[in-house]
Structure 1
């Protein structure tokens, strides 16, 4: 039986990152993947859907710009766009495969990594059985990392067939733009696909939202902008509605909604997308004799450790945050715990996120809703994009920067949300401050390139410090600063 220092099950973002970190430690590592190298982080996931979003955003901007000059825009062609997305996915998969091939032939790394494709299951605490087209074999591992990811959640009440009623696994494989599409679920993924299809201008989109606003975890000012833009592009949001029935009749999707006011309505569309969360891939992954404990949302882990001392869990299979960057972070961290000592504790407070909407939304740390739920006093500044020269130059001033800090002399950063053009480029400096538990003065006098979106962060910080160029409160809805007293549940301008 061949022995390894580490066996990694799953070669998605977290598993691949873990294997490569083990190579850094010069440990003999076995990486096993059941399907496509790169996992859902590339196919039917982060890379593919974001490529669709980029192309959709380009098409939306193209249509608007041509309209400005009185010209008729061309129609989007599904097959051409689908081909471009497939090319992007292939480029990334080829990159990973090429990287593995180079590792095989490089004397510096070749002794430390073996990659195989096959179905793996943990038959004992130090043994992994692999089955593929070449047969079956068992390997021994001093340590094991489970990184098998997740898949879209199914419920028996919905007739998901990936022909008429899709999940994110199948929606990108349609033959053409549907003339109408209903999306079940108004969370991040549902809203992203609503943005994508609305942006191409070929599909009437319906979005089912059981509450009175989409993205229920976000602050109302962020949601208001996203909802306004979705509706401007023709998306119909079924607010305060519960899906009570869905069925496929004569190749069309029929669905019934029950609204909170008691009314019931029936609708008919060509296709449906179900986006109600994801579930971990753990079935038949370990034998009953291996006491790995599962929680409600995934493998129970503490700092990547499972209930078995030499087995670790990272990425979507855990109950932590299901993001590619988080999975990679966890994978690398687990390896550092096994073979060394991590430089820093694994924390999630400074994880940067981006929602691919219209406009994009980037965030780190707490928003106002979270801060209030935690009973925190805070100060907050909001700076409109119309105050930022780069946004003006791009002729797109929709959006704002909102920065939360502690309501004390230190003014440590609690969180930030940026909604607007190039939002993701503005977030990282603040994420670093959160990870360092620092206040905001470091950002106040930092010299930013001009013109840039990040200059808006500098002006926001200056406003909180009382030394901004654009004085808070003088221009309504442009620059505002206020503080929140949790004991009184009261906002006051400052």
Structure 2
């Protein structure tokens, strides 16, 4: 029954995937629920993240597919890309999806405030535009994160850069794009723009992109960037940016190693931070870590008795499906009397590079740290599709197996449709699949995925002699 002592049984701050899932499920129990969203319903994923980015990946890939069609007998005439046409269609679909999020909330009985909410105290929120104050028995923080950029003191000229927030709104394609960063966002956009014919340069402070991924995957993706025509500069960072006022590529990036690169668009993809600045967490007594992330336990509960947090704002695993599962678990635990919490292990993940990455479970390095002995199976091959089209890209696959019980603890793929494959494999990994289970599974032939169940030879590292 609704709590008469408060305006709402649940107030959700943030209209992204995690917050919307929690609000809608809670409202379906008859609870009085509200959501405040200061920008647009749908959050990072729908508005300025995975959804529009995947559309850009598709757009970029078509050029490659068309160019390879000749090997299969197709004669293709003059081909051109119109960024304005694509961008218009992409944003129309984003608008449609955002509208669905809004309608689903309203249809479930959720009251929606299209303005920012900030804490006054642990049970009171102020709606910033209207100035209205509301109280809630339970409050869920689901405000997500934002791209981090250095200050002008740290990087002079940083005001000349864009982030992943603005990249979707470029009215025309850049002539020369420079990207700072080596994580999945930097890698994905480097491939996207290179595929659209943009001269692209990626600058990364490390030696190999995708830190935190399996080392073999990192090497394959790093080399794939170069094969895609991306200029990759490693082991240095931006020192300063200046507007030279000269020509189309008037922005000059001075690098710490003494080199410089000229561009007309510069993108910072050097990390993200939780959106807790100005939220009033201190007034509510909610503890944050050094990066501003809300500290929670396994139940997504903060140190404040009536406040929870899900999604990117907690800086646990910054993935939309994770936020959804966390929000779902919160709602069922608190409003359905079905207590459970999300298990953050063995989460299938994709990086939409070209070709893409699919990974689940442990890297080889982490497995060797956890277990006394590990078996490795891996293969790299040219897929059948590329035999006629001239594409030199190869597929990479790797199984990481705990030796004593033969449980498969990690699967890593780089190749076309790797993300689709890893979703299915993730189910098996979650169930505790073993290498003999893989071996007993009949192959689908001819397919790329069949290699997963036909790898029999253990990989033995070469010993320098």
TM-score (norm 1): 0.83
For the pair 1:281 / 2:275, whether they are aligned, the reply is yes
The residue that corresponds to 1:335 in the other structure is 331
For the pair 1:120 / 2:117, whether they are aligned, the reply is yes
**Structure 2 CA distance for partners of 1:438 and 1:449, relative to 1, 3 Å:** closer
For the pair 1:459 / 2:464, whether they are aligned, the reply is no
Alignment map for 1:124-139 (pairs within 5 Å): 124-132=121-129, 135-139=130-134
- Give the match's secondary structure for 1:244: strand
Separation in structure 2 between the aligned mates of residue 30 and residue 242 of structure 1, nearest angstrom: 44
**Structure 2 CA distance for partners of 1:389 and 1:446, relative to 1, 3 Å:** farther
Separation in structure 2 between the aligned mates of residue 46 and residue 174 of structure 1, nearest angstrom: 17
Say which of 149, 162, 166 aligns to 1:166: 162
Say which of 433, 442, 459 aligns to 1:482: 459
Deviations 1:185-212 (A, max 9, x none): 11111111100000011x1111101122
Shift of 1:62: 1.5
Shift of 1:446: 4.1
Say which of 53, 68, 77 aligns to 2:82: 77
**Structure 1 range deviating more: 61-70 or 369-378:** 61-70
What are structure 1's unaligned runs of at least 5 residues?
104-108, 464-471, 473-480, 484-489
Shift of 1:448: 6.2
For the pair 1:91 / 2:96, whether they are aligned, the reply is yes
Shift of 1:449: 5.2
**Structure 2 CA distance for partners of 1:25 and 1:443, relative to 1, 3 Å:** farther
- Give the match's secondary structure for 2:94: helix
Is the Cα contact below 8 Å between 2:288 and 2:295 reproduced in 1?
Answer: yes
- Give the match's secondary structure for 1:139: strand
Say which of 40, 44, 53 aligns to 1:49: 53
TM-score (norm 2): 0.88
What are structure 2's unaligned runs of at least 5 residues?
none
**Structure 2 CA distance for partners of 1:455 and 1:16, relative to 1, 3 Å:** same
Deviations 1:248-271 (A, max 9, x none): 232721111233xxxx22222211
- Give the match's secondary structure for 2:36: strand
Shift of 1:428: 2.8
Separation in structure 2 between the aligned mates of residue 282 and residue 220 of structure 1, nearest angstrom: 33
Separation in structure 1 between the aligned mates of residue 440 and residue 282 of structure 2, nearest angstrom: 59
Deviations 1:94-146 (A, max 9, x none): 32234345x1xxxxx43xx22221110121222222233xx332222111110
* Segments of 4+ moved more than 6 angstroms: 67-70, 388-397
- Give the match's secondary structure for 1:327: helix
**Structure 1 range deviating more: 20-29 or 179-188:** 20-29
**Structure 2 CA distance for partners of 1:394 and 1:249, relative to 1, 3 Å:** closer
- Give the match's secondary structure for 1:337: helix
Is the Cα contact below 8 Å between 1:217 and 1:369 reproduced in 2?
Answer: no
Deviations 1:13-71 (A, max 9, x none): 11111112223444322122111000111112111111111110112221333588675
Q: Looking at secondary structure, tell me which structure has more strand per residue.
A: 1
Separation in structure 2 between the aligned mates of residue 141 and residue 453 of structure 1, nearest angstrom: 52
**Structure 2 CA distance for partners of 1:448 and 1:96, relative to 1, 3 Å:** farther
The residue that corresponds to 1:32 in the other structure is 36
RCO comparison, higher one (Cα < 8 Å, 6+)? 2
Shift of 1:350: 1.6
For the pair 1:147 / 2:152, whether they are aligned, the reply is no
For the pair 1:266 / 2:271, whether they are aligned, the reply is no
- Give the match's secondary structure for 1:421: coil
Number of aligned positions between the proteins: 449
The residue that corresponds to 2:252 in the other structure is 254
Is the Cα contact below 8 Å between 1:145 and 1:311 reproduced in 2?
Answer: yes
Shift of 1:175: 2.4
- Give the match's secondary structure for 1:151: strand
Alignment map for 1:47-446 (pairs within 5 Å): 47-66=51-70, 73-101=78-106, 103=107, 109-110=108-109, 113-132=110-129, 135-156=130-151, 157-158=154-155, 159-161=157-159, 164-201=160-197, 203-250=198-245, 252-259=250-257, 264-286=258-280, 288-297=282-291, 298-303=293-298, 304-340=300-336, 344-374=340-370, 376-386=372-382, 398-408=394-404, 410-446=405-441
Shift of 1:278: 0.8
**Structure 2 CA distance for partners of 1:241 and 1:67, relative to 1, 3 Å:** farther
